Amino acid sequence: MPFNGKSANTNSMMRLFKKFFENTNENKAITQSNWSVWWNRDPKPSSIIFKASESRLVKELIEPDIVKKGITDYSINTYTMKDGLQTWAFKNNSRDNKALQSKLIKTPLVLIHGYLTSSMHYHKNVADLMTKYKEVYLIDLPGHGATDFHQKIVYPDHEPAHKLELEFERKYEHKENGETSKNKELFFYNKKQLDSANYQRLLKGIRKDFFNDSIERWIRTHKMNKINLVGHSYGGYFSFHFWRDRPDLVNKLVMLSPLGVEKNIWSINNLILQHDKYKVEHDPTAWTYLPNRKVPEFFLNNQYKIFMAMGPVGVRLLQNFFKHRFNKESPLFQKYSFENCYLQSNDNLELNTILFNSFFTNYLTSYDPILDYGEDIEKRKDDIKILYGDHDWMDKRCAKEFTNSSIIPNSGHNLNIDNPKDTLNEIVNFLK
């Protein structure tokens, strides 16, 4: 149970937030369009809007790439499951090329996106994957893209505390001669005992309702034996737990810069007894406790509400953020990324906030971290791989805990977009 973190020299999360406020080459004034977007926003938009936007991205960005790869016999289908799960299916038919067909990987490949993004996050990867895979599927998670939540997350009657109520004490060390040292000893204790078992059941139930059941129904509907799974960030975290829970359905898993990997002081799997004191070397509440990242709790707890309350200014800031986040991508994808986040229904955004805060701390660690399941990882170590970008703001040290891992050059957290070629090579070489 490692409580101690390592200091960081910089804070990339602060740089990330600065992107909201940086000027662009466009007119710096709040334009009529910003007012219009804010004023005309529908709190309960139809999923048809997002389906139409995705269709345009497929037609203008993905399909031309497929043709460039020399794939002439292919099919693209989109459909919605009975439970609302939106799917894009890309198939390399190549019926007139038996030699190519024999080389294609037959196990279906399913790609899972990250938080407040969608299946279109993989738009630069589909064509390349189709040269290796017979079937590639992109799914919009519940509450993302063109998939609505069809049921609200139901908490138990007595919801366990989401956080340990930790108190910290600092005491000066004393030398043998009685003098007080400049160094301080840092202790913490838990004011209120966490109902760990109940919280574990809660998170397991949410994962089941939100992710596992939907994906299992999807697999059963398609009459698939097993799939290969790729999950990015937030989607990587949930993909891991599905891979762990359902080895009968998932062959191999690749996690792209996943959230919630690190063991940490807030894990519900730690044994922290009420009122017992524990010594730590670093202050877990400090900005430097974990590498390069901390989100203000106010922002984490309110997320989209902040931008909604800011009116057209919020529109401007969020547009600016996505332009910087995907600054090398087409304006079409930048616009879609903004709309997919800002124009989502209030119900979807609210429930996504609840989900995120149920699983993750404001240090972007998890209350139920992946590395707490080291025994499960070791048992299937050859079936799981983790990838990070070389300037990823996730903790790349975690790669050392996996038998199969790689650092992708010239890429950050969105490594499949920043460096699709090298990311693809790592995925294919592992999964084949």
What value does the mean pLDDT take over residues 103-111?
Answer: 94
Q: What is the pLDDT of residues 275-287, one digit of tens each?
A: 677 776 666 655 4
Does residue 20 register a pLDDT over 90? no
What value does the mean pLDDT take over residues 324-328?
Answer: 90
The answer for residues whose C-beta is within 8 angstroms of residue 331's C-beta and 6 or more apart is none
3-state SS, residue 36:
helix
pTM of the model: 0.86
Starting at the edge strand found earlier in the chain, the sheet holding 384-389 runs: 74-80, 86-92, 135-140, 109-112, 227-232, 250-256, 384-389, 404-408
- Read off the pLDDT band of 164 (50, 70, 90): low
Query: What pLDDT, on a 0 to 100 scale, did the predictor assign at position 6?
Result: 41
3-state SS, residue 366:
strand
Query: What pLDDT, on a 0 to 100 scale, did the predictor assign at position 215?
Result: 95
Determine which helix (DSSP H) or strand (DSSP E) holds 231, and give its type and residue range. Answer: strand 227-232
Phi then psi for residue 218, to 5 deg, are: -60, -45
DSSP labels for 169-218? EEEEEE-TTSPEEEEEEEEEEESS---HHHHHHHHHHHHIIIIIHHHHHH
Lowest-pLDDT range of 122-126, 176-180, 270-274, 370-374: 176-180
Q: What percent of the chain has pLDDT over 70?
A: 79
- Read off the pLDDT band of 4 (50, 70, 90): very low
| Cα separation, 362 vs 225, whole angstroms | 38
- Read off the pLDDT band of 288 (50, 70, 90): very low
Angle CA(415)–CA(421)–CA(425) in degrees, nearest 5? 95
Lowest-pLDDT range of 163-172, 249-258, 341-350: 163-172
Is residue 398 within 8 A of residue 371, CB to CB? The reply is yes
Structural domains of the chain, ranges and CATH numbers in brackets: 12-161+197-265+295-431 (3.40.50.1820)
- Sequence-ordered alpha helix ranges (H) in 270-309: 297-302, 304-309
Query: What pLDDT, on a 0 to 100 scale, did the predictor assign at position 418?
Result: 96
